[in-house]
Chains A and B, each alone.
Chain A
Amino acid sequence: MIRTPLRPLARILAARASGADPDAIEAENLRQRNDARRDDLRVRAEGRLFVLVLCFLGAFLTVGVRMGTLAASEAEEPRLAAAGEAIVATRADITDRNGRLLATNLDTHSLYAQPELMVDPARAAQDLARVFPDIEADALHRRFTDGRKFLWIKKKISPEQMQAVHDIGEPGLLFGPREMRLYPNGRLASHVLGGASFGREDVHSAEVIGTAGIEKAFDSYLRDPGLAGAPLATSLDLRVQAATRTVLDGGMKLLNAKGASAVLMDVRTGEILSLVSLPDFDPNDRPQPLGTGDQSDSPLFNRAVQGVYELGSVLKIFAAAQAIELGLVNQNTVIDTSGPMRIAGFPIREFRNKNYGKIPVSEIIVVSSNRGTARLALQIGAERQREFLRRFGFLAPTELEMVEAPTGRPLYPARWQELSTVTISYGHGISTSPVHLAAGYASLVNGGTRVRPTLLRQPGPQQGERLVSESTSRAARDMLRAVVTEGTASFAEVPGYKIGGKTGTADKPRAAGGGYYEDKVIATFASIFPADDPKYVLVVTLDEPQETTGEKPRRTAGWTAVPVASEITRRVAPLLGLRPTVEATPLAGLTPIASRSGD
């Protein structure tokens, strides 16, 4: 562009000649030039503003459109995200502490009928009755023809049965997929596992819900899809549970007992490695609860958790331990146990009216003297005894992870009088479950800290509150060991394993009330092993046992529960990896086994 000069010579000269002001020309030109520059700047500024407006508009439009699509469109999972983290909709497995399956799921089919699609209902009913022996052909035919449009025939059928129904060739018989709960080990651990059944169900699926035991207690956990089917690891050990059940079952039959239970517990972690209650049931085919009569006769009844019994002399060790803990006595303090002794008008007698005379505290436990523990309890007093037992957990239901646990509520007198103090010191007048007893023994012998029983695998020892001192705990262990070496539980000895324990034989109270049976007892043996550094507590309880090899039937725990517990320990201790301290029978030599690398 050619710049216009502010003072063009030709016009200046012409203006001068005509006498006009030449400065006006310059001013005019300057104004024109400024105008042009202003217009130019304005256009550029407008252009920039326009671009800016476009940018903002674009940005806002993008946000707006995105919001609109998000609001208006259907929610959709990313197509590939599902492949890695599958959402597992099935109920989680239950395993033992080593990962062996205790409960799992199996895909099966259910069978239902739509009678309006049926070609020949009479023949279908006949053929179905042949496939399923528990179906009555006539009744089924009536149901086919009474005008209904839908009926269930079987909730769960096996593949063979499904094929057989296929072969009937009836279009009105239809199958729906079903996921059923399978307990591959059958009766083993049936009380712990409980059982499962179908909740809401329709043709295409059904909800599996726990009906008892750990299945019900952890129902929401097992069904949580967010946990991606991670199995629930219990504290049970399948091998130990199997060995315990076999031995206990044999012992129960041999001793003509009505029922039996065994609890094996780790004294530091509180894990229950084995919990058996006999008679038991198959959780795959859970029986109906008894309609009438005593529920404790039903196989569904868990004697170890729900059954509260007066366990007898096994509680004596707690009276002795408390007296030692309070500094009232030590193991060697001599107590006069001679009779007669009357508390609130009731005579306190020894077993078979024996008289042990003046004996030390440890001997009271060894010979199981009622009057001896009664004297200790009188020194302790009601209030302190009650508090001591409460801290050991004897006065509240156990916190075991089963729905049945709260029903095992201990029974004890509301007014804890002098007579109660005395009878409770030797285990009468207070009813607790075998699991309570196992937890109490574990807390007493593990060094004196509280452990709470649990059915879940624990990462490490429990750090419970201190209940008794280390030295009291040691004294209790020594006394329990002495019961086995020189006392009422001499049959408990297993070569190589130092076993300690206390027997208890309690007369069964009459169901109708009013006194005790003469010839029905609950025999209990609570044992610890190894006694010098206890790792496990085993409580074996037999209901109405009778040992008949002698002239008179023998019912005391020393003849019944103790041999059974001893055999359980002999079988179970090696499985738990406990090495016998003294070689039972020296081996001539080991069989060398060639091990080649690379195999």
Chain B
Amino acid sequence: MRGFVLVPAIGAVMGLAFWAYQENYTTQAAQSDAEALSREIGALRERLALLDAEWAYLNRPSRLAELTELNFDRIGLQPFAPSQFGSVDQVAFPPDPTELIVDGIIEARGELRPDQEGEAQYP
């Protein structure tokens, strides 16, 4: 009679001990994981601050002004002027999308040319 109680109890103690041992080690692993992550976050934050500083340095107004002047013939940027404000009625309505719908048969002619790899290429 006593054995019936004792054996499962001992079994339960051993099971719990094993579970506690395992939990202990998973917790330790999770902790060192989290520590590594926070170290990584710290390093990334530092890097982010550096990139922010670099971004701010590269986007400083004097440099941007110089670049727009250098590339004026290509991009033609000028300072924002009062005349650039438009009103809503100056905005054209977009074209009626129903006009763009193609119905009926369309005939297209072309030539299928093999390219260097020998596959057909569509011009």
Q: Which residues in A have some Cβ–Cβ distance to B below 8 Å? A: 79-80, 82-83, 86, 90, 100-101, 104-107, 182, 184-188, 238-239, 242-243, 246, 494-497, 570-571, 573-575, 579-580, 583-585, 587, 589-590, 592
- Say if the beta carbon of B98 comes within 8 Å of chain A: no
Shortest CB distance B86–A (Å): 5
A105, B50: Cα distance in complex, Å:
8
Neighbouring B residues of A495 by C-beta, 8 Å: 82
Q: Are A570 and B50 in contact (CB under 8 A)?
A: no
A239, B61: Cα distance in complex, Å:
7
Q: What are 23 A-B contacts with C-beta separation under 8 Å?
A: A79-B31, A82-B38, A83-B38, A83-B41, A86-B45, A90-B49, A101-B53, A104-B49, A106-B53, A184-B53, A184-B56, A184-B57, A185-B62, A187-B62, A238-B61, A574-B81, A574-B82, A574-B84, A575-B80, A583-B85, A587-B90, A589-B92, A592-B91
Q: Are A105 and B49 in contact (CB under 8 A)?
A: yes
Shortest CB distance A108–B (Å): 11
When the two chains form the complex, which single residue of A182, A497, A583, A592 contacts B57, counting CB atoms closer than 8 Å? A182
Neighbouring A residues of B35 by C-beta, 8 Å: 79-80, 83
Q: Are A573 and B92 in contact (CB under 8 A)?
A: no
Neighbouring A residues of B82 by C-beta, 8 Å: 494-497, 570, 573-574, 580, 584
Q: Are A242 and B61 in contact (CB under 8 A)?
A: yes
Q: What interface size band does chain B fall in? A: 20 to 34
When the two chains form the complex, which single residue of B41, B52, B62 contacts A188, counting CB atoms closer than 8 Å? B62
- Say if the beta carbon of B23 comes within 8 Å of chain A: no
- Say if the beta carbon of B34 comes within 8 Å of chain A: yes
A188, B28: Cα distance in complex, Å:
52
When the two chains form the complex, which single residue of A104, A242, A494, A574 contacts B53, counting CB atoms closer than 8 Å? A104
Q: Are A86 and B86 in contact (CB under 8 A)?
A: no
Q: Are B49 and A186 in contact (CB under 8 A)?
A: no
Shortest CB distance B1–A (Å): 25
Neighbouring A residues of B81 by C-beta, 8 Å: 570, 574
When the two chains form the complex, which single residue of A104, A186, A188, A590 contacts B91, counting CB atoms closer than 8 Å? A590
- Say if the beta carbon of B71 comes within 8 Å of chain A: no
Q: Are A574 and B65 in contact (CB under 8 A)?
A: no
Q: Are B60 and A184 in contact (CB under 8 A)?
A: yes
Q: Are B37 and A186 in contact (CB under 8 A)?
A: no
A495, B83: Cα distance in complex, Å:
9
Against A, the Cβ 8 Å flags (1 = close, 0 = not) of B32-46 are 001101100110011
Interface contact tally, CB-CB below 8 A? 92
Shortest CB distance A185–B (Å): 5
A28, B57: Cα distance in complex, Å:
110
Contact flag A590-B50 (CB < 8 Å), given A83-B37, A100-B56, A571-B79:
no
Shortest CB distance B87–A (Å): 8
A242, B85: Cα distance in complex, Å:
21
Neighbouring B residues of A83 by C-beta, 8 Å: 34-35, 37-38, 41
A583, B84: Cα distance in complex, Å:
9
A473, B55: Cα distance in complex, Å:
45
Q: Which 6 pairs, one residue from A and one from B, show the smallest C-beta to C-beta distance?
A: A242-B61, A83-B38, A184-B56, A101-B56, A184-B57, A580-B82
Against A, the Cβ 8 Å flags (1 = close, 0 = not) of B65-76 are 100000000000
A592, B90: Cα distance in complex, Å:
10
Neighbouring A residues of B45 by C-beta, 8 Å: 86
Q: Are B42 and A101 in contact (CB under 8 A)?
A: no
Contact flag A185-B56 (CB < 8 Å), given A82-B38, A589-B92:
yes
Neighbouring A residues of B49 by C-beta, 8 Å: 90, 104-105
A186, B37: Cα distance in complex, Å:
36
Q: Are A101 and B80 in contact (CB under 8 A)?
A: no
Shortest CB distance A269–B (Å): 23
A238, B90: Cα distance in complex, Å:
31
Q: Are A104 and B42 in contact (CB under 8 A)?
A: no
Neighbouring A residues of B57 by C-beta, 8 Å: 182, 184
Shortest CB distance B84–A (Å): 7
Neighbouring A residues of B50 by C-beta, 8 Å: 106-107
Q: Are B46 and A107 in contact (CB under 8 A)?
A: yes
Contact flag A246-B92 (CB < 8 Å), given A186-B60, A580-B82:
no
Q: Are A590 and B86 in contact (CB under 8 A)?
A: yes
Shortest CB distance B85–A (Å): 5
Q: Are B92 and A186 in contact (CB under 8 A)?
A: no
Given contact pairs A83-B38, A585-B83, enumerate 14 new A-B contacts (beta carbons under 8 Å).
Answer: A80-B31, A83-B34, A101-B53, A101-B56, A104-B56, A107-B50, A185-B56, A185-B61, A242-B61, A571-B79, A580-B82, A580-B83, A583-B83, A584-B82
Q: Are B53 and A243 in contact (CB under 8 A)?
A: no
Q: Are B90 and A589 in contact (CB under 8 A)?
A: yes
A184, B38: Cα distance in complex, Å:
29
When the two chains form the complex, which single residue of A101, A242, A496 contacts B62, counting CB atoms closer than 8 Å? A242
Neighbouring A residues of B41 by C-beta, 8 Å: 83, 86
Neighbouring A residues of B42 by C-beta, 8 Å: 86
A106, B55: Cα distance in complex, Å:
13
Shortest CB distance A236–B (Å): 12
Neighbouring B residues of A590 by C-beta, 8 Å: 86, 90-92
Neighbouring B residues of A575 by C-beta, 8 Å: 80
Neighbouring A residues of B84 by C-beta, 8 Å: 574
Nearest B residue (CB) for A104: B53
A570, B46: Cα distance in complex, Å:
41
A436, B69: Cα distance in complex, Å:
37
Neighbouring B residues of A583 by C-beta, 8 Å: 83, 85, 87
A571, B41: Cα distance in complex, Å:
42
Neighbouring B residues of A184 by C-beta, 8 Å: 53, 56-57, 60
Shortest CB distance B112–A (Å): 32
A86, B61: Cα distance in complex, Å:
33
Neighbouring B residues of A592 by C-beta, 8 Å: 91-92, 94
Shortest CB distance A281–B (Å): 14
Contact flag A186-B53 (CB < 8 Å), given A83-B34, A573-B82, A585-B83:
no
Q: Are B83 and A587 in contact (CB under 8 A)?
A: yes
Neighbouring B residues of A242 by C-beta, 8 Å: 61-62, 65
A185, B46: Cα distance in complex, Å:
20
Neighbouring B residues of A239 by C-beta, 8 Å: 61
Nearest B residue (CB) for A592: B92
Q: Are B85 and A185 in contact (CB under 8 A)?
A: no
Q: Are B80 and A574 in contact (CB under 8 A)?
A: yes
When the two chains form the complex, which single residue of A185, A243, A494 contacts B79, counting CB atoms closer than 8 Å? A243
Shortest CB distance B97–A (Å): 13
Neighbouring B residues of A584 by C-beta, 8 Å: 82-83
